[in-house]
């Protein structure tokens, strides 16, 4: 029987028993949105919670994909079954072709690793909905860890990685890279820092920059009250140097989350964010219908207009 | 009397009569959000519509800032008074410092140009609210054009530039750059393409790539029904080569918008998007309150949870 004709419940069953085509199909349906995606969400949700969700982010060209690629080689040796969600549109992991990336990518890394590229545009609800949906599928069918690779430049993209169990931020040596990471909001969300291309000049300066900024955030009271402080790992991902240290740092962070009870808090926050995005998406249609032609009236500002509609849409 | 103690109405008046400190203060207040920002929105909204809003986007390092910098030199010679909103966190225009960018940047370009850097994180409502707010202030006090410089990697960032009157997308020569622009959703929003660093190898190949992709989008019916097709301009922004051609292309696009009546449609769409974002922001608090502790119940999926809350929050 064709995978395509299976109802969601049987599809989830097939995926959970290891059928890779069923997993790919689930990911496609979830990304598409609508009632079928909601049914899959209902069916997979009870099975999540085992996977450690790792976000890897940084500027384009920082070496996120190379690092992720090295992890997908290291982790199966440790008996783990990683899945990768490549959100970065410029990621080599998601290929260089205009069409058919996702088809070409599914499963290329062999039986141990599942790589999926997520379209960054045009799907229902955007990244705030499509990423948690895909992570849920991976988690429910037994992949662990689930690695999300994204470019840490956009607002939503930083939010998505910040919502992972462990957020890894990759920077490169060179004046200003740490500063730019800070400006993009990456310092606030980082649990582990990686200085990749550490064989290049300026790696130690960048390390000092990062340490200084962490120190500053400590002074301003932003440091974790439990005393956790993001470690800084030096890597040369192209040679595999430092990759085991990166994974050790991720595991240490996970142990910290477990020991402090923060894992549940972080996951609850992630679910809240997802529910919020979903409600916003549902309510959006009603908002859309309520925006009248008077949007072009120069005497009704968007602030006034929005206040009126908000009253109209909500029951209070 | 200190600018800081002026009520919004007098602040708007002072800004409209050319007081640069008043303009800076308005931008700060608008970015901060809340009732004062809403009051300023109400006061400035009736005065907008004169400025041509130009979005300039592309990958980090494509040369957007250099191009923008050249335009801020060219345009005053033409009798125009440009303002620049730098959303790109890595933009040299927004400086390299962690703190105090905006203070340092305000007005550095002299009396003819006003440059403002927008924090990409942490402000009320995100870019979808802060950019239209700042553009409104610039427009209402008489700047024209208003140039928004942003990195076209994130979802929100592409949306913001796509909502400008004219969207300029900057790519560089080299295999894959046009492809990456396509994947980031930039091709769909571009009104003018710039191949910057056109003195480098591969510029003509990149031109062909872009032309091919435009051709493909034509075949699939995405081309503008009026026959407008985004021109491709070759520049070497560091030398100023091609800058007058870029501006001529922006003006030609503006004439196209005027001639076809599309300017009003585009601005109505922009206002709709702003009103939508504002309502979503207001409703968000109610959504937040409605999300119960059951968010962690494995038997209530986010899809089900969201549907329940949406019913609860809205009156229907």
CA distance B15 to B11: 6
Minimal Cα distance from B296: which residue of A?
A268
Of A45, A90, A154, the CB nearest to B157: A154
Q: Residue B51: is it exposed, middle or buried by C-beta count within 10 angstroms (0-12/13-18/19+)? A: buried
- Hey, CA dihedral for A60, A65, A70, A75, is it positive or negative? positive
A112 lies in a domain?
yes
Encode pLDDT of B8-47 as tens digits. 999 999 999 999 999 999 999 998 888 999 999 999 999 9
Give how many domains chain A has, as a whole number: 2
CA distance A189 to A54: 12
CA distance A192 to A228: 11
CA distance B121 to B135: 18
CA distance B145 to B260: 20
B307 lies in the same domain as B190: no
Q: Which residues, 6+ apart, have CB-to-CB distance to A179 below 8 Å?
A: A209, B96, B97, B98
A76 lies in the same domain as A195: yes
Distances (CA, A) of A45 to A137, B37, B303: 8, 41, 10
B245 lies in a domain?
yes
A134 lies in the same domain as A164: yes
Encode pLDDT of A79-112 as tens digits. 999 999 988 555 554 443 333 333 333 334 445 6
How close A240 comes to chain B (CA, Å)?
Answer: 26
Average pLDDT over chain B, rounded to an integer? 82
B255 lies in the same domain as B308: no
What separation, in Å, do the N-terminal and C-terminal C-alpha atoms of chain B show?
51
* Structure token pair of residue A241: 């140097």
Mean pLDDT of B89-109: 40
Interchain CB contact of B271 with A (< 8 Å):
yes
A214 lies in a domain?
yes
| More reliable by pLDDT, B296 or B211 | B211
Q: Which chain B positions have a beta carbon within 8 Å of A301's beta carbon?
A: 38, 41-42, 44-46
How close A12 comes to chain B (CA, Å)?
Answer: 15
A13 lies in a domain?
no
Give yes or no for a contact between A128 and A274, defined as CB atoms under 8 angstroms apart: yes
B34 lies in a domain?
no
Average pLDDT over chain A, rounded to an integer? 82
Q: Which of A240, A260, A280 is at the close of a domain? A: A260
A242 lies in a domain?
yes
Give yes or no for a contact between B23 and B141, defined as CB atoms under 8 angstroms apart: yes
Give yes or no for a contact between B170 and B242, defined as CB atoms under 8 angstroms apart: no
Mean pLDDT of A264-289: 84
B94 lies in the same domain as B178: yes
Mean pLDDT of A158-186: 81
B261, B275, B289, B298: best to mutate for the A interface, most A CBs within 10 A: B275
User: In this model, does residue A315 exceed pLDDT 60?
Assistant: no
CATH number at residue B61: 3.40.50.300
DSSP three-state, residue B142 = coil
A127-140 vs A20-32: helix crossing angle, rounded to 10: 160
Interchain CB contact of B291 with A (< 8 Å):
yes
B282 lies in the same domain as B172: no
Encode pLDDT of B266-290 as tens digits. 998 889 888 888 887 888 777 777 7
Encode pLDDT of A110-154 as tens digits. 456 888 887 655 444 577 788 999 999 999 999 999 999 987 767
The pTM of the whole model exceeds 0.90: no
Interchain CB contact of B289 with A (< 8 Å):
no
B239 lies in the same domain as B286: no
Minimal Cα distance from A117: which residue of B?
B183
A89 lies in the same domain as A129: yes
CA distance B291 to B288: 5
A285 lies in the same domain as A186: no
- Name the one residue in this structure whose structure tokens are 């410029």: A90
A26 lies in a domain?
no
Domain with B305 in it: 277-313
CB pairs under 8 A between A and B: 235
Of B155, B179, B301, the CB nearest to A45: B301
Written as one string, the DSSP assignment of A178-217 is: HHHHHHTTHHHH-SEEEEESTTSTTHHHHHHHHHHHHHHH
CA distance A128 to A184: 18
Minimal Cα distance from B30: which residue of A?
A303
Interchain CB contact of A83 with B (< 8 Å):
no
pLDDT of residue B116: 87
Q: Which residues, 6+ apart, have CB-to-CB distance to B13 below 8 Å?
A: none
B304 lies in the same domain as B239: no
CA distance A266 to A255: 14
User: How big is chain B by its Cα radius of gyration, in Å?
Assistant: 21
Contact A155 B185 (CB under 8 A): no
Of B126, B275, B301, the CB nearest to A302: B275
| Percentage of residues in chain B having pLDDT higher than 70 | 83
Contact A156 B154 (CB under 8 A): yes
How close A77 comes to chain B (CA, Å)?
Answer: 31
Of B120, B296, B302, the CB nearest to A155: B120
B245 lies in the same domain as B306: no
Strand partners, A151: A58
CA distance B173 to B200: 7
Minimal Cα distance from B152: which residue of A?
A154
Contact A38 B307 (CB under 8 A): yes
* Structure token pair of residue A203: 């790696």
pLDDT of residue A102: 35
Q: Residue A138: is it exposed, middle or buried by C-beta count within 10 angstroms (0-12/13-18/19+)? A: buried
B300 lies in the same domain as B185: no
Strands B114-117 and B192-195, how do they pair? unpaired
How close A239 comes to chain B (CA, Å)?
Answer: 24
At residue A68's C-alpha, the angle toward residues A66 and A69, to 5°, is: 60
Q: In what order do the strands lie in the sheet with A166-171?
A: A114-117, A83-86, A146-151, A53-58, A166-171, A192-196, A232-235
- Residue length, chain B? 316
User: In this model, does residue B200 exceed pLDDT 50?
Assistant: yes
Minimal Cα distance from A91: which residue of B?
B180
How close A82 comes to chain B (CA, Å)?
Answer: 23
B214 lies in a domain?
yes
Interchain CB contact of A41 with B (< 8 Å):
yes
CA distance B47 to B137: 9
């Amino acid at each position: 029987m064709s995978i395509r004709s299976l109802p969601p419940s049987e599809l989830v069953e097939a995926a959970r028993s290891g059928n890779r085509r069923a997993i790919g199909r689930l990911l496609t349906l979830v990304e598409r949105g609508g009632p079928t995606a909601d049914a899959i969400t209902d069916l997979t949700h009870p099975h999540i919670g085992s996977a450690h969700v790792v976000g890897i982010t940084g500027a384009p060209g920082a070496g996120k994909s190379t690092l992720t690629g090295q992890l997908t080689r290291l982790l199966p040796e440790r008996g783990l079954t990683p899945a990768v969600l490549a959100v970065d549109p410029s990621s080599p992991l998601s290929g260089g072709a205009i069409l058919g990336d996702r088809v070409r990518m599914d499963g290329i890394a062999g039986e141990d690793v599942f790589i999926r590229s997520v379209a960054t545009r045009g799907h229902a609800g955007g990244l705030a909905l499509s990423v948690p949906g895909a992570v849920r599928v991976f988690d429910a069918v037994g992949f662990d860890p689930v690695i999300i690779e994204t470019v840490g430049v956009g607002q939503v993209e930083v939010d998505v990685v910040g919502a992972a169990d462990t957020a890894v931020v990759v920077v490169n040596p060179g004046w200003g890279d740490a500063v730019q990471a800070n400006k993009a909001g990456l310092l606030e969300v980082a649990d582990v820092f990686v200085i990749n291309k550490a064989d290049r000049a300026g790696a130690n300066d960048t390390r000092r920059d990062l340490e200084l900024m962490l120190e500053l955030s400590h002074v301003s009271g932003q440091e974790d009250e439990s005393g956790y402080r993001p470690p800084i790992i030096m890597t040369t991902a192209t040679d595999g140097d430092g990759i085991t240290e990166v994974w050790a740092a991720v595991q240490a962070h996970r142990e910290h989350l477990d020991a402090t009870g923060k894992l549940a808090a972080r996951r609850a926050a992630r679910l809240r964010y997802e529910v919020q995005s979903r409600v916003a998406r549902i309510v959006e249609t009603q908002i859309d219908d309520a925006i009248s032609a008077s949007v072009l009236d120069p005497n009704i500002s968007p602030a006034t207009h929005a206040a009126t509609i908000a009253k109209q849409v909500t029951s209070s």
